[in-house]
Structure 1
Amino acid sequence: MGDVICDDYLEIFYMIKRIIGLSIILTIGGILLLSFRTKENVDLSSYSTEGLDLYYIAPNFNEIEDDNTFISPELGKSYIGFKEAVAFKESRGDYGVVNQFGYLGKYQFGKGTLALIGVKNVKRNKFLSDPVLQEKAFYANLSRNKWVLRRDIKWFVGRRMNGVEVTESGILAAAHLSGPGAVKKYLRSGGVEGFADAFGTTIRYYMKRFGGYDTSFVVPNKKAKVI
């Protein structure tokens, strides 16, 4: 009698074992089948972020307000197009304007910058009423900045930084905004060391807005002077 009961228990045990084994096999098979069907039916490439600009910095109000307001198909991406675009951003192209911080003329020069390029002992009204002098000052400042930033232009042009392609014209425009020293820090820190002027305009914004112009006309000159 005891042997019969023992045999019954063994039979039940093996039956349960077979059921569990079969359940495991069916579960694994179902998972594999589902995975194959998923690969066939879902195009995962549509979820790829490759090529997307995932670094975004929200511009301040000043940058939104006048973005892309200067369009000149005739001048295009030439040097003249570049300087007129910068002038429009700085002063709307007005030679006679002085802003609330004392920056002068079409390109909004500070007195310190003008002194560096040889414009000294020139009365404010004389400078504001002399378009030729202002144009010479703009070129001299570009020429000096291009010399100061010559290595950075060589190293960084063509790279992307904070979602913006670095170009020579963008670098020179940013140097006009912040000075070449601040642009060096920005580039050599990978865009970490930033700068914003009194209106909140950033180096990144200038590099984006004024990128891609032909500034090969500008000759780098350490001692560039107007007078």
Structure 2
Amino acid sequence: MTLNINGLIQGTHAEFSHSTVQLDEFVLERKSIKSLLEDLSMIEIINIIDDETLIDKINILQYKESIAKKETGNIPNPYQVVNRYGYAGKYQFGKSALRTLRDNKLIDFDIDRDGEKVFLNDSLLQEQTLNALILYNLNYIKKKNLYRYVGKKINGTRITVEGMLAGSHLVGVHAVSHFLENNGSMDDFYIYGKLCRKYDGNGVSLIVYMKLFEHV
């Protein structure tokens, strides 16, 4: 039995119950977000993924654990953390990323309307927001056909889907795209008139994050 997307998203209560059974089978089949993006929109996918869903080779939970370790480590109550640059929560989200996800209807939270305090006090929202960011960046990677770099070694780093996502989490998916398409160049560049760098404010490069997943 295959996943009934229409029943899951648009159906009546009875249809939803039936689709929940099919969703369980979807989870058991371990269908990846990478493959789901071949047939479904981001809006459809965001409603059916959870921590057990595969990204490509590993599931979302495994990815989250590695990202959280880099972003907030063993800090008590990481959901409440705000760094000196204003990045917030367990996964250190910037306001620009939150606005992008809201504009693409992948999250309901509006940082300008609801405020940072709401975000910091809602751990579930933060987990859902990272799911949304994974999906948004993976969709961009697909559109730019960056999959063609998977398995190649660039600037000393073996490229994987999860590695591209991790680099995107740190400095944005445009920086990862520029890095790959310019043979591992670490030079700054401009996009839409905005300066983009391949290092964060602490001097950590996208390569450090991409290497987290080079052996998945």
| TM-score interval (norm. to shorter) | 0.5 to 0.7
Matched AA of 1:158: G
Q: Is the 8 A contact 1:117 1:140 kept in 2?
A: yes
When the two structures are superposed, what TM-score results if normalisation uses the length of structure 1?
A: 0.57
CA distance in 1, matches of 2:213, 2:91: 14
Gaps in structure 1 of 5+ consecutive residues:
1-76, 214-227
In the other structure, the counterpart of 2:211 is 208
CA distance in 1, matches of 2:71, 2:132: 17
CA distance in 2, matches of 1:163, 1:149: 20
Q: Does residue 1:171 correspond to 2:164, yes or no?
A: yes
In the other structure, the counterpart of 2:177 is 184
CA distance in 2, matches of 1:212, 1:128: 33
Q: Identity across aligned pairs (percent)?
A: 35
Deviation at 1:200, TM superposition (A): 0.8
CA distance in 1, matches of 2:91, 2:166: 11
Aligned partner (choices 125, 136, 144) of residue 133 of structure 1: 125
Q: Does residue 1:154 correspond to 2:137, yes or no?
A: no
CA distance in 1, matches of 2:215, 2:59: 9
Does the residue aligned with 1:95 lie in a helix, a strand or coil? helix
In the other structure, the counterpart of 2:67 is 86
Deviation at 1:123, TM superposition (A): 1.7
Q: What's the RMSD between the two structures over aligned residues?
A: 1.7
Question: Could you say which structure has the greater relative contact order, defined with CA pairs below 8 angstroms and 6 or more residues apart?
Answer: 1
Matched AA of 1:126: V
Does the residue aligned with 2:130 lie in a helix, a strand or coil? helix
Matched AA of 1:180: V
Q: Which has the larger radius of gyration?
A: 1
Matched AA of 1:79: I
Count of residues in Structure 1 that have an aligned counterpart in Structure 2: 138
CA distance in 2, matches of 1:179, 1:97: 20
**CA deviation vs aligned residue, 1:102-138 (integer Å, no higher than 9, x gap):** 1000010011110111131222111101011001110
- Structure 1 runs, 4 residues or longer, greater than 6 Å off: none
In the other structure, the counterpart of 2:26 is none
**CA deviation vs aligned residue, 1:156-202 (integer Å, no higher than 9, x gap):** 00000111100000000000111111111000001014511111111
Q: Is the 8 A contact 2:60 2:131 kept in 1?
A: no
Aligned partner (choices 145, 154, 175) of residue 137 of structure 2: 145
CA distance in 1, matches of 2:145, 2:185: 16
**CA deviation vs aligned residue, 1:16-39 (integer Å, no higher than 9, x gap):** xxxxxxxxxxxxxxxxxxxxxxxx
CA distance in 1, matches of 2:210, 2:178: 14
Q: Is the 8 A contact 1:127 1:134 kept in 2?
A: yes
Gaps in structure 2 of 5+ consecutive residues:
1-57, 103-108, 188-197
When the two structures are superposed, what TM-score results if normalisation uses the length of structure 2?
A: 0.60
Q: Is the 8 A contact 2:159 2:210 kept in 1?
A: yes
